[in-house]
Amino acid sequence: MAVVTVLLGWLVPLLYAVLGLLLVFLLWAYEHFLEYDEDGSAHVFYNDYCSYKYCFRSEKYGPVYRLNILHSVVLGITCPEATKEILMSSKFPKDKNFHKRIFYMFGERFLGNGLVTAVDHELWYKHRRIMDPAFSSLYLRGLMGTFNETAEKLMDRLTEEVDNQTEVSMLKMVNCVTMDVIGKAAFGVELDLLYKSSPFPKAIETCLLGLVMSARDLLYEYKPRNRGFIKEVREACRLLRSTGAQWISERKTAMQNGEDVPKDILTQIIKSAGQEETMTKEDEEIMLDNFVTFFIAGQETTANQLAFCIMELGRHPDILEKLKQEVDDVIGMKRDISYDDLGNLVYLSQVLKETLRLYATAPGTNREVPVDMEINGLHIPGGFTAMFSSYVSSRMERFFKDPLKFDPDRFHPDAPKPYYCYYPFALGPRACLGQNFAQMEAKVVMAKFLQRFDFTLVPGQSFDIKDTGTLRPKSGVLCTLKHRHTK
């Protein structure tokens, strides 16, 4: 009897261990979305985490639907009233579980408590107030010289490609120019990526792809076949943060020596950490969090917007010709574009907004909702995460007629304004601080490009979307260029 008792004592834990291993194996071998319940809920194991699936669910199940992600409840919301109530308020923090996934990436600190990711409202508010001067209207006006100078380098680089009669990946080109702009305007560093090789573009792409992989697969980090890529992600995180540490150190030295330094993003990042003598290790880490945040967000989304814009213009010659005419009327043949010129490029603004409607490069955001709410007539108990996606709502017939059609006239000054269904830069107090910076830069680059060049899309390329943490054109937008001779 004693032997049986001992055996049972060992057998039960062993059985639990076997069942646990079996569950791990099943998750590993059968990573996919499970079937929908009859009530419209879906059980998700993070794989195939694509925006088009959310479009499908929103169209099928309505403006609020439930996802069960393991033990967590997530509500996908496209209801404009609920979107307004939640995103426009500071009462609802960003989701802590998602924050954990981007705080560290496979054990290496990534975005941490940066301005975009911080969950603690007081910490976020403190940093936001300090960063505001670097995005004031007055300071942004002063960046027109940087925007023009860097865009002019892109025009020179594209001229070389025309002379060589080669196909051009416009995504690659605009990635280089937007990274050059953020390097110069935000950190006072000349990168010159249009002519020099650099590890930064690859490092950013690797980090963002690592973010996607870890979100899609809960067990990604523990699978032996992924070790090589995980090592690359960790090295990329270290590269970005070590670069930030170097640039911050150099700027601190300049400030201590009494040198005249710009009131740019880097200076504001240093100010956010407080006095040197009271600075903690965590303060130093948060400086690097903000450096990585602005380095990535300041170029990645603008580059993707520009690439998608060129792709759509190449597919719609009538819109392209109308836009060229506006550029001719407003800019003519002058080299430098003024701040006032940007306000007169009305149709270009419409084209860029329509690009972001179809291709919201940062596809979504989330909030924790601890209190009970009524959404679209449904009583929802508190304790859930609300998920919002401008990509999804902007592609719904409910909000936009013929939503997959590229139509800049949706954003004509006299057209009705979209009501809380179009928010590519998010909404409310956590809206993107750099959205005016990004759109000024995009206007300068696009206006100069259309002023100087005609282009055609290379036949046979894909127009699909690639999700690498941000959305980008899968093909790279391959074009052939020729010099444009304006009458």
Between CA 450 and CA 445 the distance in angstroms is: 9
Between CA 34 and CA 262 the distance in angstroms is: 53
When comparing pLDDT for 9 and 33, which is higher? Answer: 9
Average pLDDT of span 349-366: 92
206-210: list long-range contacts, CB under 8 Å, 24+ apart: 206/232, 206/233, 206/236, 207/105, 207/110, 207/233, 207/236, 207/237, 207/240, 207/296, 207/469, 208/296, 208/300, 208/468, 208/469, 208/470, 209/233, 209/468, 209/469, 210/105, 210/106, 210/236
* DSSP-derived 3-state class of residue 215: helix
pLDDT digits (tens, 9 = 90+) for 359-371: 998 778 999 999 9
- What homologous superfamily does CATH list for 42-483? Cytochrome P450 (1.10.630.10)
Average pLDDT of span 272-291: 83
pLDDT digits (tens, 9 = 90+) for 292-340: 999 998 888 899 999 999 999 999 999 999 999 999 999 999 999 999 9
Q: Which residues contact 249 (CB under 8 A, 6 or more apart)?
A: none
Q: Which residues contact 6 (CB under 8 A, 6 or more apart)?
A: none
* DSSP structural state of residue 39: T
- Percent of the residues in the chain that have a pLDDT greater than 70, as a whole number: 87
Between CA 287 and CA 265 the distance in angstroms is: 11
**Structural tokens at position 17:** 């261990």
**Structural tokens at position 99:** 């924050």
Q: Which range, 55-64, 344-353, 428-437, 461-470, has the best average confidence (pLDDT)?
A: 344-353
Which of 216-220, 409-413, 477-481 is predicted least confidently? 216-220
Residue with tokens 């057209």: 415
What H or E segment, with its residue span, contains residue 26?
helix 2-29
Q: Cβ distance 480 to 167 under 8 Å? A: yes
* Res 190 pLDDT > 70: yes
* Res 144 pLDDT > 90: yes
First to last CA, the chain: 102
- Percent of the residues in the chain that have a pLDDT greater than 90, as a whole number: 60
Kind of pairing between the strands at 453-457 and 384-388: unpaired
> What are the φ and ψ backbone dihedral angles of 196, each rounded to 5 degrees?
-120, 145
pLDDT of amino acid 20? 57
Rounded to a whole number of angstroms, the CA Rg of the chain reads 24
> What are the φ and ψ backbone dihedral angles of 104, each rounded to 5 degrees?
-115, 150
Under the banding of pLDDT at 50, 70 and 90, the label for residue 215 is: confident
Query: What is this structure's pTM?
Result: 0.87
pLDDT of amino acid 9? 60
In Å, what is the CA distance from 406 to each residue of 311, 324, 349? 11, 17, 14
* Res 209 pLDDT > 70: yes
Angle between helices 265-272 and 227-256 (to 10 degrees): 90
**Structural tokens at position 425:** 């830069």
Under the banding of pLDDT at 50, 70 and 90, the label for residue 277 is: low
- The response to whether 432 counts as a known ligand-binding position is yes
* DSSP structural state of residue 398: T
* Res 37 pLDDT > 80: no
**Which of these, 300, 265, 274, 299, lies nearest to 136 by C-alpha position?**
265
**Structural tokens at position 233:** 């992600």
pLDDT digits (tens, 9 = 90+) for 376-405: 888 989 989 999 999 999 999 999 999 999
Between CA 263 and CA 319 the distance in angstroms is: 39
pLDDT of amino acid 42? 34
* Res 278 pLDDT > 80: no
pLDDT of amino acid 46? 33
| Chain centroid offset of residue 230 CA | 21
* DSSP-derived 3-state class of residue 66: strand
Average pLDDT of span 40-59: 49
pLDDT of amino acid 280? 84
**Which of these, 448, 455, 477, lies nearest to 150 by C-alpha position?**
448
* DSSP structural state of residue 415: S
Under the banding of pLDDT at 50, 70 and 90, the label for residue 72 is: confident
pLDDT of amino acid 486? 47
When comparing pLDDT for 63 and 249, which is higher? Answer: 249
Under the banding of pLDDT at 50, 70 and 90, the label for residue 34 is: very low
Mean pLDDT rounded to a whole number for the chain: 86
**Structural tokens at position 243:** 């670069």
pLDDT of amino acid 214? 84
pLDDT digits (tens, 9 = 90+) for 11-22: 656 665 666 555
Between CA 384 and CA 83 the distance in angstroms is: 15
Largest Cα–Cα distance in the chain?
102
Under the banding of pLDDT at 50, 70 and 90, the label for residue 159 is: very high
pLDDT of amino acid 262? 87
pLDDT of amino acid 167? 94
